Amino acid sequence: MIYREIESKDIQDLFEVRLSTDENQVTSEYLAEIGITPRSIAEGLAGPLKGWLCEASGKVVGFSLGNRETGEMMVVAVLPEYEKKGIGKKLMELIQNWFWSCGHDEIWLLATPDPKLRASGFYKTLGWKEAGASDAGDQILKLCRTKF
């Protein structure tokens, strides 16, 4: 497995991974409705967005993406056949470390509150804590930087 920063040339692969997830499935139409398009991601990567991906045999199998300005961990997605191999955890670690290096002491994300989905439990095992709900009903989770 190779982990590296996302580049503009990777954007189509990111969409393929995100649209292939088993849980919290979305369509390209839905993503476009909420403003997530290849163009918006390209523009974001030239600005406040940064992320990492995981490749296996030259194929993108997972990625994470965050916003430096807001401290939002926007997405982590892994192809179903590559789940439970530590990829999501490593991608979260990479983006969290980036946030800390940008000076954030607290970061946040939105997760579905549906207990049938694994996402919320995954984040909580990594130390994320519940911090309320969004207007749309998503669970807000926060992670505070541990200072030694």
Three-state SS for 139? Answer: strand
pLDDT at 88 over 60: yes
For the chain, which domains are there?
Answer: 2-104 (3.40.630.30)
Question: 135: pLDDT confidence band, cut at 50, 70 and 90?
Answer: confident
pLDDT at 105 over 90: yes
The mean pLDDT value for 70-78 works out to: 93
Inter-CA distances, 70 with 16, 86, 101, 113, Å? 25, 26, 14, 22
pLDDT at 137: 74
Three-state SS for 126? Answer: coil
Question: 28: pLDDT confidence band, cut at 50, 70 and 90?
Answer: confident
pLDDT at 148 over 70: no
pLDDT at 147 over 70: no
The mean pLDDT value for 57-65 works out to: 95
Distance CA 63, CA 47 (A): 18
The single residue listed with the structure tokens 């497995």 is 1
